[in-house]
Amino acid sequence: QAADSKREQFRRYLEKSGVLDTLTKVLVALYEEPEKPNSALDFLKHHLGASAPENPELEALRLEVAEMKEKYEAVLEENKKLKTQVKTY
């Protein structure tokens, strides 16, 4: 019982201080990486080290990069289709 109580207190402490939320965000970012890094530990260290207060401009740039990646993938796909069409003529 005492061990369970200590664990629960510690869990609440981590939750209250934002540690669980931050870890979850970093792990989700790793999960969503299209190309997994060679070292998951280095990825975690890098992203946890960068968890200083967010600059709104930085977040806007991250969103822009994500949008550009999507557009890039769409253009690559369209290019592939057009090349196939050209070959058939």
Give the separation between CA 29 and CA 15, rounded to whole angstroms: 19
The confidence score (pLDDT) of residue 50 equals 56
Which residues touch 48 (CB under 8 Å, ≥6 apart)? 22, 26
Q: Does the predicted TM-score (pTM) go above 0.75? A: no
| Cα maximum dimension of the chain | 77
Tens-digit pLDDT profile for residues 18-55: 899 999 999 999 999 999 999 998 888 888 875 455 67
CA torsion sign, 51 to 54 to 57 to 61?
positive
Mean predicted lDDT score pLDDT of the chain: 88
The residue-averaged pLDDT of 53-62 equals 77
